[in-house]
Structure 1
Amino acid sequence: MYIRFITPKRIASARGAADGIFDAAHLCWLDKANPVWLRKSIRDELDWFNENLRIPKRFGIVTRKSNRPYSGICWFRDGAHHCIQHSRLLCILLREAGTYTSQISTVEPGDIVYRDDLQIVAMPRMVTEVNWK
């Protein structure tokens, strides 16, 4: 099982898949309209991820047919308990800042182009079946 935390924003280069929470968190951290305590809490969570989660070496592919890049999307492995807990906390903070988030899961994320102990990057298929939580 793979778990992902998403926002309503879509990624065109990833077949319209929902964007993850890290871009939204970065924007909320930069937004001076958010209270200082909230911005600091978001920054603390982003720092935790920077220290504890590797940046994948590969995020996508370029197809020979169209020569267009396609982006993969990141999923946590279900055993990445600390990452999942920190993601849930980050989702609570994002909701406090007015950003809607959801948790989804799947057993078939698509074609895997990167993997480590905590996460994978997968190229979504035209239909990737997910469970909404």
Structure 2
Amino acid sequence: MFIRFVIGEIDPRSGRRRGVFHAGNALAHSTDITAHDVQRLQDAFDWFNDHLPHPNRFSLSAKPNRKAQALSWFRATAVEYIARMRDYTQVLGENGLETEVLKTRRPGFIVYQDEFQVVAYPFADTPT
């Protein structure tokens, strides 16, 4: 099982619902959030940045300037990461951004994977 956290807004780069890190970054740069909540988002993001491997691909093609349409999914076994993501999404919710948790056994054509996550170009029946 794979798990993805999204908001309802469509990301113009992928054409899919926006992931919560992109949503949190946009919120942190808006005027609609307190400095305390910006810090909460930043602290959580920093933890992920320090502990979660950084995918090296987000597209089907390995060529330069390729369109990045692949989506990140946590493996269901990444329990600590999922718990911390729920803390991150709580801040989003407190600031008016509803999040949804998508689950699937078929995230798509996998272009990157590690022990905690996969990055996959979605199949037609993959929830996005």
TM-score bracket, shorter-length normalisation: 0.7 to 0.9
Q: What amino acid maps onto 2:109 in structure 1?
A: D
Q: Which amino acid aligns with 2:56?
A: K
Distance of 2:77 and 2:59 partners within structure 1: 24
What pairs up with 1:61-80 in 2 under 5 angstroms? 61-62=60-61, 69=67, 71-80=69-78
Partner of 2:109: 111
* DSSP 3-state at the match of 2:60: strand
Instruction: Quote the offset at 1:56 in angstroms.
Output: 0.2
Per-residue CA deviation, residues 66-93 of structure 1 (Å, 9 max, x unaligned), is xx73510000001111110111011110
8 Å Cα contact 1:5/1:21 also seen in 2: yes
Conservation of the 8 A alpha-carbon contact between 1:17 and 1:124? no
User: Please, which runs of 5 or more residues in structure 1 have no aligned partner?
Assistant: none
Summarize deviations over 1:10-40 as a string: whole Å, max 9, x none: 23554x3212100111122222431121111
CA distance in 1, matches of 2:41, 2:52: 16
Of 75, 79, 82, 1:81 maps to: 79
Query: Percent sequence identity over matched residues?
Result: 32
Secondary structure, aligned partner of 1:69: coil
Partner SS state of residue 9, structure 1: strand
Could you tell me how far 1:116 is from its partner in structure 2? 0.3
Structure 2 unaligned regions, length at least 5: none
* Corresponding residue for residue 8 of structure 2: 8
Q: CA RMSD in A?
A: 2.2
| TM-score normalized with structure 1 length | 0.85
Q: 1:62 to 1:121 in 2, by over 3 A?
A: same
Return the TM-score normalized by structure 2.
Answer: 0.88
1:79 match: secondary structure: coil
Residues matched between the structures, number: 127
**Residue 36 of structure 2: aligned partner:** 37
